[in-house]
Amino acid sequence: MAKSSAKGPATTYLVAYNAVSFGGWAYVLVQTVLYLLQHGTDLEGLFARVGHALIFIQTGAALEVVHSLMGLVRSGVLTALMQVYSRLLLVWGALYMFDYPEIRASPALVLMVLAWSVTECVRYSHYALGLVDVEVPILLYLRYTLFYVLYPAGVTGELLVLWAALPHAAAIHPALRIFFLLNMAGYPPVLYKLYTHMIYQRRKILGGHGSSPRSKAARASAETTAGAKKKKL
């Protein structure tokens, strides 16, 4: 969720939303890592450990589309919708619907959960602190750098989970399998859009090749200019 220009109650709400979201994803990340340390490659109990928390916290992210529609944040509605929709399909359409080890106890699930949780811990903590004017340079750098690795890793995990769900979807109805396949076919253009969007944001926020963050004033100026252009459009 992008940083908001709103003040008062709206800002308080957004700080709370980002803080709670960070807490949820941190819980999922810590529990996943602890499970892997305790059980290694035996993934039979992984979903029981983190699955319901994962579904709950990811479903809550649907509020980000509402935030964009209401103008509480600067992020575009389409970008928020693409990110939320694909994940809701994964958690409800695959993980919740199909209780099979090749889906709930697979390395693909581990890859997906780790990529999601690391990304979101950085993202939500960065936004929550930014809303109260606290800048942590390392969080800023990670926010606009980790996506180079985590986006492809997360997408790979997502596609593998959907692939494993295809036979079970077909057993319910052939149309459901086709629906899953169509969603999988949509991943390349969506990934391209999100990836290039993040590269653009990285250049704007970090500057150049992004070896170190720009000054706060420079970033604020860039964001103000971008906001003014958006309003003119």
pLDDT in tens, 66-114: 999 998 988 888 878 888 999 999 999 999 999 999 999 999 999 999 9
Catalytic residue among 27, 96, 100, 151: 151
| Of the candidates 57, 50, 22, 58, the residue with the CA atom closest to the CA atom of residue 34 | 50
Query: What is the domain partition of the chain in residue ranges?
Result: 9-232
pLDDT in tens, 20-48: 999 999 999 999 999 999 999 999 999 99
Residue 175 burial by Cβ neighbours in a 10 Å radius (0-12, 13-18, 19+)? exposed
What per-residue confidence (pLDDT) applies to 190?
85
CA distance 225 to 200: 15
Share of the chain above pLDDT 90, in %: 74
pLDDT at 5 over 80: no
27 is catalytic: no
151 is catalytic: yes
Q: Which of 50-59, 184-193, 203-212 has the highest mean pLDDT?
A: 50-59
In whole angstroms, what separates CA 201 from the centre of its chain? Answer: 16
Six token digits for residue 154: 């997360």
pLDDT in tens, 115-128: 999 999 999 999 99
pLDDT in tens, 135-180: 999 999 999 999 999 999 999 999 999 999 999 999 999 999 999 9
pTM to 2 decimal places? 0.84
What per-residue confidence (pLDDT) applies to 76?
82
What per-residue confidence (pLDDT) applies to 94?
97
Q: For residue 212, name the pLDDT band (cuts at 50, 70, 90).
A: very low
User: What single-letter DSSP state applies at residue 75?
Assistant: S
| Of the candidates 33, 35, 28, 34, the residue with the CA atom closest to the CA atom of residue 50 | 28
CB-based contacts of 44: which residues, under 8 Å, 6+ apart? Answer: 101, 105
Q: For residue 7, name the pLDDT band (cuts at 50, 70, 90).
A: low
Q: For residue 194, name the pLDDT band (cuts at 50, 70, 90).
A: confident
